[in-house]
């Protein structure tokens, strides 16, 4: 989750043409915290995610994805979106 948040914050900041210092001021955080968030070194709280969304005029949406897929042997199962077992490769259809 930290990685997804990091990529999104970096994208939002760059699209706004802001430096980390300017984003920190806008978000009422330290520049160090912006850096940590953008590196994925810190998982932001829900309160922080809401603050980021509000500051950049975005809506925060939290979705719990599950995927159902079939194996060659005919078995089927679902698992959370973040499933990391390398034997379960499949297309998420969302570029992730």
- Ordered by where they begin, the domains of the chain are 2-55 (1.10.260.40), 63-96 (no CATH)
Q: pLDDT band for position 94 (50/70/90)?
A: very low
**Residues 34 and 23: beta-carbon distance below 8 Å:** yes
Report in angstroms the alpha-carbon separations of 39 from 77, 85, 95. Answer: 34, 24, 21
Cβ neighbors of 23 (< 8 A, separation 6 or more) are 9, 13, 16, 34
Query: Is this structure's pTM higher than 0.75?
Result: no
**Element at 9 (helix H, strand E):** helix 2-15
Give me the mean pLDDT over the 22-34 stretch. Answer: 96
Q: pLDDT band for position 95 (50/70/90)?
A: very low
DSSP character for 42?
A: S
């Amino acid at each position: 989750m930290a990685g997804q948040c990091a990529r999104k914050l970096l994208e939002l900041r760059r699209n706004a043409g802001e430096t980390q210092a300017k984003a920190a001021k806008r978000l009422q955080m330290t520049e160090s915290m912006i850096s940590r968030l953008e590196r994925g070194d810190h998982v932001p709280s829900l309160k922080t995610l809401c603050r980021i969304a509000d500051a950049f005029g975005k809506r925060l949406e939290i979705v719990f994805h599950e995927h159902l897929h079939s194996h060659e042997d005919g078995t089927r199962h679902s698992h959370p979106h973040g499933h990391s077992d390398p034997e379960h490769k499949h297309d998420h259809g969302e570029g992730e």
